[in-house]
Structure 1
Amino acid sequence: MDDLLPKLLAFPPHPPPQTPLSDFQYDEGIRNQISTVGKIPEKNLLPQTSGGENALDVINPAINTVPYIYILLAHINAAQKGNKGVNWDTLWAKIANFLETFDGRQIRYLGKEFTQIIETAVTLARSNNQSILAIGPIRTALLRLDPSGSILTSTHLHLVELALEARDYETVLPVIDKFIYHFPGATNQPRPKFLCELGLSPTAYITPESKLTAKLNHQDVLEYFMYSGMVYIGLRKWESALECLENAITYPAKDVSKIMVEAYKKWILVGLLLEGKPLNLPKSTSSSVAKSYHVVAKPYETVAQIFETGTASRLKAEVEAGQKIWQGDCNMGLMLSVLSAYQKFQIRNLADIYSKISIPEVNNLTMSAETGGKLQSPALAEQLVQSMISEGSLNATLSHPPNGPAILTFGLGAPIMTEDQMQKELQASKQRIQFLTQEIKTTDRLLTYDKEYVKYMQKLKKNAKNGVTDQGISGPDMDWNPIEDEDIMAGVF
């Protein structure tokens, strides 16, 4: 191993030269190194140094990503072949460390190897019933690969699946909170001259051709949005959950697939938890898709209608009658949350009538859908109101007069933000606008090279000349889809 180290550590030069390498020099240097290291037999990458150290302990993956990944894969392959000299526990620590520290510029040239490391981490964690261990390293790897988080990859799907398996939702938020603007392989953009360009858009190097992601089909995209919505549901982040589920139910598909229907069922319930009433389908939903949803999700729509206009007892009875349906759809937990939310919305709605109201009156005027009647005592009503105030779902205050019951005073409008909070909100909004502006420019450039989009625009122009109006993206005239419509999900309703 000692003889190989100079060759393994030849690139990039360390310490870095005073004059940074040009993109041409960097590209040439890393390609030569990959070619050199890739020709070394794996058995030659396994021995220890003369000092008895493992090469993975000597090489820093943050500086020398290329040799480290090849040595790491050599150890993984040896372990899979039953080499007793390789300890899986020690190897797992190296895999996790690599995913959290690799150089984001060098990894662009190592897509196949990167994907193999990700797949190994996922498989190893699951095989030991420790899915939770892979979540943090894979999340960090995705953000190192693409700090903007704007392009969906096959690794995203692995991440949300692991989060649901382990019920570890908070850890994946830095990834799923990012807005997805691009899909790999969705455009026929020109290849970049050098993958190492620091200002390169992630759409230029995260492609199926680079092997940094697999090609995504219709089902993959739907599953990502569906599973991300479920992660947010687990965190009770209803607004984010609704947005993800909406991405699934409005996806421009030829047919309504099973996963779209499942997303719609959850979308109805999350809408109730967020707004307290049935929501209208987004305008981008075509009439044929809407009809399919209404047919297959009728029990859910019935619950939503009762929630808005029916009584607590009737809502309780409807939920109990459909218990097998909710359990079969894995929505029983959401449905119980809906029952719990019924009285909370009644309490919030009292603000439309009263500015102040006593707790006993609150107890008399509202009903619990969990029991089908009033709470057993004003003390329980006060406890519920206090919890709503504490969690921020009720803009009000509670006071306790010396000679009377507790008084609930509703606030006027939204809570007033402090100057510091306002500045933070303004700064965050500014950053979002700047990022979105840049993404719009990038998307415009990408569409310039997309043949299908060009054909679509030519058709619109031709239709306009002939007096044919555009039917919109959800109508039957849509024949441009940024993702190839292959592998449409089975089980269409």
Structure 2
Amino acid sequence: MNKMEALITSIQGLSGSLGDLCALHARLRKAEDSLRINSNVQLSILKQLDPSIHSLGYLYILEASTSGPVWKKKATLLIAQFINCCDAGQIRLASEKFVILCKRFKDRVFKDPLRGVGPMLSAVRKLVQVSPKRLTALHPDCLQLCLQAKCYLAGFSILSDDIVEVDEPRDFHLYCYYGGMICIGLKGFQKASELLYNVVTAPMHEVNSIAFEAYKKYILVNLIHSGQFSNSLPKCASSVAQKNLKNWCTPYYEVGNYYNDGKISELEAVVVAYSSDFENDNNLGLVKQAVASLYKRNILRLTQKYLTLSLEDIANMVQLPNAKEAEMHVLQMIQDGQIHALINQKDGMVRFLEDPEQYKTSEMIDVMDSVIQRTIGLSKNLIAMDNSLSCDPLYVGKSQVGRERQRYDFGDDFDNFPHFSM
């Protein structure tokens, strides 16, 4: 019996109990060099293993077989099948190797992303089964693939849990950036704003390309969602961000300032002047949504001043071409719950109404209870994290705290940072 046959026998015999798996893991680590010698042979050997039963050994052999620059097409298919059926408990024993394999798979299917969305979602879920509030190294890769495939709902499915455990700041910032773009694709601008805010306010020694891209979108998303623009960054943003982000985002500041003025024609002129900048950033579509939202924002302002207005008056006041366009905007805002109004089709008059919500229905009580429970859960997590840090000797002395914080600075400039149009 040669070494490879002996290893296969070990994998088949030691894939049951945790004790056996630990012994197998030690043997697989020793055999890593020999596993990388002939990738073609290793792939054929996999036929003797069941990926759902012998997941740990299968993972080691498959990872070794795909470590070189040239793959067989069969290997990509095998990885997808393995991710979908492997045992979560076994792959978590070698989670770093599993992450490496999944990242290779993502890179291989990136030009045909639909092939990879399902397996990558499965990979993330298997890694977080024990702790759904933990961010894995695969979260950002999965979201990036969902963006590339325009599978926004699939990506949103891994954004529902509140992340409180993070190993690598870079993973968290990419998770928030890609997650924000997923939410933009779904018109979930409030959630998008929250995620992009996390990137903009992250600690950093040098401003990086992710922060720049996030801040540009953060400005536009806030205009669309709340109709507000501030010339200053959030106070919790780092001093480096406070000093530098504005200088690199001048076109977006111009859009924000003219948006605040409420004058459509001047805002549109600014958009035309900087259209090449917005297009290069793949943000032109988002800018146009911001411009369109100003019509609605101006109509909303009218509801605070008038009880009734004609559609013709609304069109003139908010600079819409005609009464028909004004009617379409008002109807859409009523449908979206942004305003409460009645339109008299005979005389073209709009009567603005008070919000009918009394906040006493069972549905509203359920919503409020859900928010309260989420807040309580977050509070408990923060208390637990605070207690854990206060007992950590690395955080006792000020000097040690300073050194430890530097690990969380995110100052690398990531070249070839991907831009996605929305």
User: What TM-score comes out, normalization by structure 1 length?
Assistant: 0.70
Give the secondary-structure state (helix, strand or coil) at the position aligned to 1:341.
helix
Name the counterpart of 2:419: none
Deviation at 1:448, TM superposition (A): 2.8
Name the counterpart of 1:468: none
Q: Deviations over 1:236-273 (max 9, x none)?
A: 22112211221111111123334323322222111111
Give the secondary-structure state (helix, strand or coil) at the position aligned to 2:204.
coil
Which amino acid in structure 1 is aligned with residue 340 of structure 2? A
Counterpart pick for 1:30 among 21, 27, 37: 21
Preserved CA contact (<8 Å) 2:340 2:353: yes
Which amino acid in structure 1 is aligned with residue 119 of structure 2? P
Name the counterpart of 2:335: 390
Cα 1:486–1:292 shift into 2, 3 Å: closer
Q: Deviations over 1:260-292 (max 9, x none)?
A: 233222221111111112135222135553232
Preserved CA contact (<8 Å) 1:160 1:224: yes
CA distance in 1: counterparts of 2:177 and 2:58, whole angstroms: 36
Preserved CA contact (<8 Å) 1:11 1:30: yes
Which amino acid in structure 2 is aligned with residue 95 of structure 1? I
Matches within 5 A, 1:125-204: 125-126=109-110, 129-147=111-129, 148-184=131-167
Name the counterpart of 2:216: 265
CA distance in 2: counterparts of 1:305 and 1:241, whole angstroms: 21
Deviation at 1:175, TM superposition (A): 1.9
Cα 1:140–1:482 shift into 2, 3 Å: farther
Name the counterpart of 1:283: 235
Deviation at 1:318, TM superposition (A): 1.5
Counterpart pick for 2:388 among 445, 453, 475: 445
CA distance in 2: counterparts of 1:81 and 1:317, whole angstroms: 52
Matches within 5 A, 1:91-106: 92-106=76-90
CA distance in 1: counterparts of 2:119 and 2:392, whole angstroms: 35
Name the counterpart of 1:46: 44
Name the counterpart of 2:194: 243
Give the secondary-structure state (helix, strand or coil) at the position aligned to 1:105.
helix
Which amino acid in structure 2 is aligned with residue 351 of structure 1? T
Preserved CA contact (<8 Å) 2:180 2:193: yes
Give the secondary-structure state (helix, strand or coil) at the position aligned to 1:350.
helix
1:66 paired with 2:56, answer yes
CA distance in 1: counterparts of 2:357 and 2:399, whole angstroms: 44
Which amino acid in structure 1 is aligned with residue 287 of structure 2? M
CA distance in 1: counterparts of 2:243 and 2:141, whole angstroms: 33
Give the secondary-structure state (helix, strand or coil) at the position aligned to 2:396.
helix
Cα 1:78–1:361 shift into 2, 3 Å: closer
CA distance in 2: counterparts of 1:314 and 1:415, whole angstroms: 40
Which amino acid in structure 1 is aligned with residue 115 of structure 2? L
Name the counterpart of 2:301: 349
Identity of aligned residues (%): 24
Deviation at 1:485, TM superposition (A): 4.1
Preserved CA contact (<8 Å) 2:206 2:410: no
Unmatched 5+ residue regions in structure 2? 36-40, 416-422
Cα 1:145–1:339 shift into 2, 3 Å: same
Deviation at 1:69, TM superposition (A): 2.6
Cα 1:8–1:256 shift into 2, 3 Å: closer
Q: Deviations over 1:324-382 (max 9, x none)?
A: 22223322111111111111111112221234444333223222xxxxxx323x22221
CA distance in 2: counterparts of 1:265 and 1:486, whole angstroms: 18
Which amino acid in structure 1 is aligned with residue 104 of structure 2? T
CA distance in 1: counterparts of 2:264 and 2:287, whole angstroms: 14
Counterpart pick for 1:231 among 169, 182, 185: 182
Cα 1:429–1:70 shift into 2, 3 Å: same
1:375 paired with 2:327, answer no
CA distance in 1: counterparts of 2:63 and 2:208, whole angstroms: 39
Cα 1:417–1:98 shift into 2, 3 Å: farther
Name the counterpart of 2:286: 334
CA distance in 1: counterparts of 2:368 and 2:387, whole angstroms: 28
Q: Deviations over 1:433-463 (max 9, x none)?
A: 2355145414532553362x3222888xxxx
Preserved CA contact (<8 Å) 1:46 1:75: no
Cα 1:314–1:44 shift into 2, 3 Å: closer
- Alpha-carbon RMSD across the aligned residues, in angstroms, is 3.5
User: What TM-score comes out, normalization by structure 2 length?
Assistant: 0.81
Q: Quick check: 410-419 or 266-275, which moved more?
A: 410-419
Give the secondary-structure state (helix, strand or coil) at the position aligned to 1:175.
coil
Deviation at 1:307, TM superposition (A): 1.0
Unmatched 5+ residue regions in structure 1? 14-25, 49-53, 185-215, 368-373, 460-477
Number of matched pairs = 403
CA distance in 2: counterparts of 1:341 and 1:270, whole angstroms: 10
Cα 1:314–1:438 shift into 2, 3 Å: closer
Preserved CA contact (<8 Å) 1:163 1:172: yes
Cα 1:159–1:338 shift into 2, 3 Å: same
Cα 1:8–1:276 shift into 2, 3 Å: same
Counterpart pick for 2:397 among 440, 455, 462: 455
